[in-house]
Each structure stands twice: as structure tokens, then as C-alpha cells.
Amino acid sequence: MNRHAPWRWLVGWGLALLLAGCALEPATPALDDEAVAAEIRATYERSLPSLSAGKQRHYAQRLYRITGEARWLPLNRDYGERLVASLREEIARLDEPGYAARRSREGVEGYSVRTAKQRRRKRMLADWGEIHFAKGLAFDLTQAHYHGLLNERDLPGYRRALDYLSGVDFLAFVTDPEVLDVYAAQVANLVYYLHDLGVADLRGEAIAAFRQRFPPSRNATLSQALFRNKIYGMTHFVIAASDYYQHPVSADEFGWVLDGFSGALGRILADTKEDIYTEVGISFLLAGREAAPAVTRLREALVDAFDPVAGMVPSESGGTDLERGEHRNVLAIMLLDWPERLYPGPILSTIRQERESVACRDVEPDICAASVRLISR
């Protein structure tokens, strides 16, 4: 008789019980969309003071527009002060001979060349004279407009800047095939900025040129870089039309975009990165199409990409740098926890604040709040 057999039997039985117990332990439940969004918010809000001023502005502006929470106003006000100071200097110097050309040249010379895409864009912009400066000025003026700062009190002489933009030949730029190949999203933004500012309405021409350059029939033959550029450009026609998440857009007007996304969803998920496909999902939401099957698939992909250890969605190469990942992760918060309504602004103008103060004078607090909401529309 083998004297070791009872011990082996006992050890084997104990191991079987241990394994059975492990099998019966409940698996860690997967986080739902809102929980992932909350984890990302917690990560970024702990680290927000360490981010650059530009990233803080970007995050706070978007969080305000999806929540309306007053705690995001201080960072937005800080940005408004910087914006007004910068624009006042630009406006004051616009009449200097060669100023716009020099500023544009300096901007192109300082353009980042870290990636192949950035190097292509730098070469392209170098061929377009003052466009780089004019595009940046249009962005800043539009931001001022979003925040109620485009007026003579906050920005004396701002009409000189609008007159300058009116003299720039943007049409050639926004319809140029080579520009569209590397700068589609920026073109989409620009034509909506110019329209918002009352400078020019080039939306129809830009959209027509874009659709001619990137018909659905070309999808299969586009390189990854061109396909990403196309999809990113399509998202920005929608996002820019919403004044950057301030109000919904028409699903009918942008049916060509939403249909294009639905038809190419497989390649979008396989061949674009998180920043891009998250904006695809947000485009459906802005158009009131949250029930679209594409939104479900895009949210699932984003949740799968979430890193619970880092508390964020990493880059496509696995990077978890918070500064570089802010754009990607604030978009993730928006897609995964979309609000029932959007909040425009915030309005930062001293004129608007004075009007609100008058509305609230000698009035009950609840009535005051209602009055302010009416003024802010």
C-alpha cells in the first residue's frame, strides 16, 4: 500500500475546493458608460491645475457646455481675460505695414513638426501667405463672439479686424484639393467662423469641394491618413455648425455626414483613433440621433479602450500623458455622458453681467434666476 496516497488525496481535494471557490467568485462588473465618464472626470479634475492654460480652457469650456455648472466659470473667465488682451494687441497693430504677413510667417515657422501630418500641414501653410494669421484671428474673434465679448466696450475697434478678414481670399483656400487633403477639419471650422462673424458665407462652397474630393466611392482607396482626415473633417462640419457644442444641429442638413459615418463605420472603428471616432459619435448626438446603432457601437469601443488603472482613454500607442490626452478624454466624457440639453457660452461680457445685475435688483432669488436664464438665451 502506498503510504503517501491519503495525503495526495487530501491535497488534491483541497485544491479542487479552492478552484471551485474561485470559479464561484463573482466577476468584477464592467463599468457602464456613465461610470467610465465619471472615472475620466475624476482623473482630469484632480490634475486640472497641473495642465497648461490652454488645456484647462478647453476642458472647462466643454464641461460648462454639457453641464452648465457654475464651477467652470472661473477658468472660462480667465480665458476670456487672456483672449481680450491678446485680441486688443492684434487689433491695435493690424494697421502696421506688413504686420499680418510677418505674424503669419512667424506662425508657420513655429508650427510643430513632431508628426508627419504636422510636417505636411506646415509645408502647405507656407504656400498661403497671410492665411495662417487670418485663420487664427478668425478663431479668436469667434471665441470672443461665443463668450459675448465681441463689442466695442470689451474689444474697441473690433470691426477693423472684421474688415481685415473681409479682404482675405478665403474661398481659394477652403476649396483647394491639396488643402482639403491635410486640413479638412480646419477648413470646416474656418467657414463656420467666417459665417458666424458675418465676414463671408463659404459653407456651401467648402462642403461642395469637400464632397467632390472625398465621395464615399473613394473610401476603399484612401490611405489611412487621408481616410482619417476625411472623417475628422466630416465631424467638424457638424461640430462647428453647433458652435462647438452650444446647440443641436439639423439631422436633415447633415444627413450626408451621418449616412457617410454609418456606411463606413467598420473602417472608422478599425482605422481611426479614439479622438476621431468619438467625435463621430458626438456628431450623431448633436443631430439628435442618440438611438442610432452607430452610437452604441462607438460607445462600446470607447469603453473597451478605457484604461481603469490610468483612469483615462490612452492614445492609440498606449500613452497616458494627461496633457496630450485632454482632447481625447474630454470628448470621451461627452460621448459617454451626453446631457439632455446644452448650455451656450458662458457669456463673459461685462455688459451682459450688468444686464443680469439689473434684472436681479430687488427681486426674489428664484425669480432672479429665471430672469437671468431668459437674458442668457
Q: For each of the chain's 377 residues, which pLDDT tens digit applies?
A: 444 444 444 445 444 444 444 444 445 567 899 999 999 999 999 999 999 999 999 999 999 999 999 999 999 999 999 999 999 999 999 999 999 999 999 999 999 999 999 999 999 999 999 999 999 999 999 999 999 999 999 999 999 999 999 999 999 999 999 999 999 999 999 999 999 999 999 999 999 999 999 999 999 999 999 999 999 999 999 999 999 999 999 999 999 999 999 999 999 999 999 999 999 999 999 999 999 999 999 999 999 999 999 999 999 999 999 999 999 999 999 999 999 999 999 999 865 555 554 444 544 444 344 333 323 33
- Tell me how many helices (H) and strands (E) the chain has: 19, 0
Residues 253 and 342 placed together within one structural domain of the fold: yes
Residues 218 and 360 placed together within one structural domain of the fold: no
Identify whether 346 is preceded by a cis peptide bond (ω within 30 of 0). Answer: yes
Q: Rounded CA gap, 158 and 90, in Å?
A: 10
Residues 99 and 132 placed together within one structural domain of the fold: yes
Residues 330 and 373 placed together within one structural domain of the fold: no
Identify residue 197 by its one-letter amino acid code: L
Tally of domains within the chain: 2
Is residue 66 within 8 Å of residue 285, measured between CB atoms? no
Residue recorded with cell 458665407: 201
Residues 330 and 358 placed together within one structural domain of the fold: no
Residues 359 and 262 placed together within one structural domain of the fold: no
C-alpha cell read off for 89: 494687441
Instruction: For residue 312, list its beta bridge partners.
Output: 307
Question: In whole angstroms, how far apart are CA 362 and each of 64, 207, 358?
Answer: 28, 51, 9
Residue span of the structural domain in which 106 resides:
30-346
Structural domain includes residue 17: no
**For residues 299-330, b (16+ Cβ closer than 10 Å) or e, as one string?**
bebbbebbeeebbbbbbeeeeeebeebbbbbb
Residues 221 and 84 placed together within one structural domain of the fold: yes
Half-sphere exposure of 244 (CA within 13 A, CB side): 22
For residue 313, the SS3 value is coil
Residue recorded with cell 451621418: 258
Q: Please state the pTM of the whole predicted model.
A: 0.86
Structural domain includes residue 85: yes
